[in-house]
Amino acid sequence: CSSDLITIDSGGQTIPVYRAQPKGGKNLPVVLVVSEIFGVHAHIADIARRFAKQGYLALAPDLYVRQGDPSTYTSIPDLIKELVSKIPDAQVMQDLDACCDWAAKHGGDKNRVAITGFCWGGRITWLYAAHNPSIKAGVAWYGKLVNDKNALQPQTATEIAPKLTVPVLGLYGGKDSGIPLDTVESMKVALSKGRSASEFVVYPDSGHAFHADYRPSYVAADARDACQRCLDWMKKYGV
């Protein structure tokens, strides 16, 4: 595969995007890769390359570029308070729309687009699937389903669930202290009021970030299983 850092215009703002794709590929299925709170670092770039090796045009945008650089923070609470909490959901939706537009003009098939995201990006995956019903599938890895609402983040995933039409697969850890299982159950109830055919897989022995192979939270067997389920889900829905 080939990979590089490109830039995409989003409403007059230049967004750096890590791109990976098969060499010489045309009319490729597209996957948007949305990062954890730590931004587009080596692990997220590696995930994009893994998708490229499966035949995808993978785009991992720097959705924090207006607010700051997450790599400069050493404290997770400071990172969340000073940077992540200041990123408007509407801005993220706009930037992901811009990625879809770019992909359609640069070798991607606009009729075969999926989104996947991790942690912070998992919540964004649910929201974007509601925002852009023309995408075909989503895979949300341990994204918050209930959050404190404010002017910048006015909705929760659970609130948008009944109106969702895009099928989203939720991959969650049973020991995730930040995402209680009762919120997963609430999300299932909310999804049952709609017709998106979304599903959950909960790994009982995993905690948060079980896919992050550069962190102590990594659980290899569950990560491998979840990766295969992710690919199968996208293919099932035509991406």
What string of DSSP letters covers the chain?
-EEEEEEEEETTEEEEEEEEE-TT--SEEEEEEE--TT-S-HHHHHHHHHHHHTT-EEEEE-TTTTT--GGG-S-HHHHHHHTGGG--HHHHHHHHHHHHHHHHHTTEEEEEEEEEEETHHHHHHHHHHHH-TTS-EEEEES--SS----SSS---HHHHGGG--S-EEEEEETT-TTS-HHHHHHHHHHHHTS----EEEEETT--TTTT-TTSTT--HHHHHHHHHHHHHHHHHTT-
pTM of the model: 0.98
**46 is a catalytic site residue:** no
Instruction: Decide: 36 and 60 in contact? Cβ < 8 Å.
Output: no
Distance CA 159, CA 180 (A): 17
| Active-site annotation holder among 208, 211, 222, 230 | 208
| Active-site annotation holder among 62, 95, 176, 222 | 176
**pLDDT tens digit at each of 239 positions of the chain:** 899 999 999 999 999 999 999 998 889 999 999 999 999 999 999 999 999 999 999 999 999 999 999 999 999 999 999 999 999 999 999 999 999 999 999 999 999 999 999 999 999 999 999 999 999 999 999 999 999 999 999 999 999 999 999 999 999 999 999 999 999 999 999 999 999 999 999 999 999 999 999 999 999 999 999 999 999 999 999 99
**78 is a catalytic site residue:** no
Going across the sheet that includes 57-61, the strands are 2-10, 13-21, 57-61, 28-34, 108-118, 137-141, 168-173, 199-203
**227 is a catalytic site residue:** no
| Active-site annotation holder among 119, 131, 211, 222 | 119
